[in-house]
Amino acid sequence: MHIVITGANRGIGRELYKRYTAAGHDVTGTSRSGGEFAMLDVTNPDSQAALARELDGRPIDLLICNAGVYLDKHESLATGYPAEMWADTFGANVTGVFLTVQSLLPNLQMDPGAKLAIISSQMASHTRAPGGSYIYRSSKAAALNLGRNLATDLAPLGIAVGIYHPGWVKTDMGGEAAAITVEDSAAGLIERFDELSLESTGCFKTYDGEDHAY
């Protein structure tokens, strides 16, 4: 199985990369800095086109859109949340997902039964509104909406789409106070990706298998 994981250089993405590689799959991980991974800045159309050329003719069984940023964790409502931060966050968390799917759609179409997994967050849900983190919450809600609409449009092509909350994970983004390890999150997510099908396309699930309210 050929799996593509964006943002594979750290956190959940890296753990997914390690586990899929250890299981014997053909894994293409991406990173903005390249190095051991394929270079991809998800916000840059030229970078997207370069990766598409690199993978030209190679079917993709599973595309995991994991790359993202959380820039406004400590912003103040009174003085923070600058416009540039909104643009940068949506560029990575929303536009970046769309551009990745768009550029690699020919590869997904080469494999009957291909899957698309979008890493969103419980912070996308309208049922959770404790305040703060306005930019991140809004971007993840947009990614959830994007995934739901992609599920509709990709179903006739045989491509299933799932949107996932990975848990509150002990990573650079989640912090040391987080509830679960990257190992727990990745193990659960892999189970969710395995069970994804056209029958469940458009689902919004937690890493441990619970249906999440939209």
> Does residue 171 surpass a pLDDT of 70?
no
More confident position, 173 or 19: 19
| Structural domain boundaries enclosing 120 | 2-206
More confident position, 95 or 129: 95
Reported as half-sphere exposure (CB side, CA atoms, 13 A), residue 80 has a value of 12
Q: Please report how the helices 134-154 and 96-109 are oriented relative to each other, as an axis angle in degrees rounded to 10.
A: 20
> Does residue 210 surpass a pLDDT of 90?
no
Mean pLDDT of 26-53: 96
Cα–Cα distance for residue pair 194/70, rounded to 1 Å = 27
Q: Are 25 and 193 in contact (CB under 8 A)?
A: no
Cα–Cα distance for residue pair 138/123, rounded to 1 Å = 8
- Report yes or no on 214 lying in a domain: no
Q: What is the pLDDT of residues 117-169, one digit of tens each?
A: 999 987 777 777 778 889 999 999 999 999 999 999 999 999 999 999 987 76
**What is the per-residue pLDDT for 17?**
97
- Report yes or no on 211 lying in a domain: no
Q: How many domains does the chain have?
A: 1
Burial of 51 (0-12, 13-18, 19+ CB in 10 A): buried
Strand locations in 41-196, DSSP E? 62-65, 115-119, 160-165
> Does residue 2 surpass a pLDDT of 80?
yes
Cα–Cα distance for residue pair 175/141, rounded to 1 Å = 21
- Report yes or no on 90 lying in a domain: yes
Q: Are 175 and 188 in contact (CB under 8 A)?
A: no
**What is the per-residue pLDDT for 178?**
56
- Report yes or no on 192 lying in a domain: yes
> Does residue 71 surpass a pLDDT of 90?
yes
**What is the per-residue pLDDT for 78?**
95
Q: Are 42 and 94 in contact (CB under 8 A)?
A: no
Cα–Cα distance for residue pair 187/173, rounded to 1 Å = 19
CATH number at residue 186: 3.40.50.720
- Report yes or no on 164 lying in a domain: yes
- Report yes or no on 194 lying in a domain: yes
